[in-house]
Amino acid sequence: MFSFFKSFLPTSYLLPGWLILDTNPLVGLLQGLVGACGISVLCSLLRVHLLLEESWNERHNEGTSSVRSSSKPVRAKHGLFGMLQFFFVTGILAVVGSRVVSLVVLEFCLRAVSGLLTAGPETRKYLQQLLVQSQFSLGCAISCSMHFLHEGASQRWLSLLLAAALSWYLAKKAAALLHHVVALYKLHSSQRYCGICISLLTSGCHLLPMLCRTMIIAFFVAVLGAVSIINQQFLSATEALRFWTPLTICYTLLVVYMQEEQHRLPSSQALLNAVVVRLGGLMVLMLTVGRWADVLHILICFLGEASCLIPNMDLLDAASSQDEEDFTNYATTARRQTSRTHQKQRQR
């Protein structure tokens, strides 16, 4: 059925090869939808985590004479603008080819690992910033994993349709949890009569480690798929070595440069500069050893990164303003409350 509709689309004798999608449009759209849902779930849960810390900090500093400099409060993103952003990111992920998606995934993993090795005592603060910066890269990772896991399947659009439905359901549940926390968490946590808010009050400190473990699994699968997808483009080991050598050298230098820039500039400005430097480096590399389609897709990735980061700059500001001491006290208090709850249940 899809081959019948595909016969009406322009073919290579009407359009240059670098303007033709490398996958079925329906498959690309479903992969983009799954990736956009993953980004939505990440943003919602990250906002919930930051709201929990913000609420704890308010209770911890209540009645003290010290005044803390607080950033803009974290709020839920909803309405028409949020839906337009979601569908725009879906379209971007649907259009970008698997080769460029794989390169974005590998670049992000290299940057994340090097940043964690050099973060030092600010590891947790870097993790929060990294989660905010990983939005578009996570969408690329999910799209790359879907392409790798379903490659060669005759009717892969059916499994992708099921994955898209499940992802949409999870994104809606995560958004509903965020709206519930924004509207009712302070009241319910003080009165202690809401099961959701009590669970977040007692075990909310485990939300950030859970997000980190989930991201590690997602990017581990994506790296396997990315290496497999890129190696399929080469006919010999010599061509593969000619591609991987400048890529590794280029991004090692870029990572060192971006780490220095991140210490000298404000977090938001350093983030935007890092996006331009990273994707600019990819573009130069693709102009050297890539194709015209790859260059076009990297330009599209600029729009994808901007559509994910600019509306969520408040997340980056909130993540940058969190203190390590506050989190330690927060986690300790949460563990004590959990142990007290277990003791009360045993006494009953």
The predicted pLDDT at position 10 comes to 45
One-letter amino acid identity for 216?
Answer: I
| Residue 12 confidence (pLDDT) | 42
d(CA 227, CA 109): 12
pLDDT of 37:
95
* pLDDT for the residue 9: 44
Question: Which residue, chain included where needed, has tokens 């007692």?
Answer: 202
How confident is the model at residue 266, as a pLDDT? 54
State the burial class of residue 149 (Cβ atoms within 10 Å of its Cβ: 0-12, 13-18, 19+): middle
User: Cβ distance 330 to 205 under 8 Å?
Assistant: yes
Among residues 332, 335, 327, 333, the alpha carbon closest in space to that of 128 is found at 327
Q: What is the pLDDT of residue 120?
A: 65
Question: Alpha-carbon distance 229 to 237, whole Å?
Answer: 15
**What are the φ/ψ torsions at residue 248 (nearest 5 degrees)?**
-65, -45
pTM to 2 decimals? 0.80
pLDDT of residue 18: 41
Kindly list the averaged pLDDT for each block of 10 residues, start to end, along the chain of length 348. 44 45 77 94 91 78 49 62 90 89 86 75 76 90 90 81 94 91 80 80 85 93 89 72 72 65 59 71 71 83 87 76 50 57 58
Q: Break the chain into its structural domains and give their ranges.
A: 24-60+75-347
